Amino acid sequence: MSSKAQLEALFSSHGISLSLLDYLERYGDPTKLELQAQEVLRGVPIQYVVGNVDFYHANLEVNKNVLIPRFETEELCDKVIRILKTWKTDMLSIADIGTGSGCIAITMKQAFPKSEVIGIDISSEALEVAKRNGIRNHVDIIWKQGDLLQPLTGKYDCIISNPPYIDKNDSEVMESVRTYEPHIALFAEEEGFKNYHNILKEVKPYLKEQYLLAFEIGYQQKEHLETYAKEKFPNAKVWVEKDLSGKDRFLFILKK
């Protein structure tokens, strides 16, 4: 077994941040530390190596069947919670479209325990992970398999989605993301816009009179999506907000 000093030297020689080694020591398997360190050196995302990630107030299982939740998605949840808290009711109906690990649905249920929260994903493998994460974090969520809005019934106060939105031809996608994370959760047709178009075209029957639609978007997608949303929802307030790194990242559609 390599000593910590040897592992530190190994990580440094590969130009890999020692914070990843700290993360590995905190969350990894102490009996497999050297093997797990080698996986990190090969480029496997550390969250997959240790099998979990912290997200908002939850700890989530992640594996190759689900996207690794990002800080930007935590920001989306935070912004949605702040808006919904102004509604003066915690008896909400909330749907998370493309739930993946269940990170958004679980965060919403933790924030609004009396609400009905549904998480939808087209991938049965992803839903199995989401179900385990619901149990792991002691929240009761309705999980349904299907394509985007297809499994929905009834009307909702809030529909949130972080759908696949990367153009397949985007050359900026990191190699580790393209190699290890599920393509079904990353890439979309129509230059990355297809899922937004489909949701925005079909969502109105599933919305209550007062509603909030919230999306994570690609930082280059603001202009098109803001215009498209205003065309589809002329009587609602439509706006885009930036993430903490100053990139256009969140699309909101609000009707009160």
User: Domain boundaries in the chain?
Assistant: 4-50, 64-255
Q: Which residues lie closer than 8 Å to 67 by C-beta, 6 or more apart?
A: 100, 101, 181, 182, 185, 186
Dihedral sign of CA atoms 135, 154, 197, 240 in order: negative
**6 CB-side CA count, 13 A:** 7
Write down the pLDDT at residue 122. 94
Q: How many residues in total does the chain contain?
A: 256
pTM for this predicted structure: 0.90
Q: For the segment 163-218, what is each residue's pLDDT rounded down to a tens digit? A: 977 777 666 666 766 776 667 666 667 777 889 999 999 999 999 999 999 999 98
CA distances (Å), origin 248, targets 17, 57, 79, 105, 222:
28, 25, 14, 23, 6
CB-count burial class (<10 Å; 0-12, 13-18, 19+) for 143: buried
- The domain made up of 64-255 has a fold known as Rossmann fold (3.40.50)
Q: For the segment 103-141, what is each residue's pLDDT rounded down to a tens digit? A: 999 999 999 999 999 999 999 999 999 999 999 999 999
Q: Which of 192, 198, 243, 249 is nearest to 222 (CA)?
A: 249
Tell me if 62 sits within 8 A of 180, measured CB to CB: no
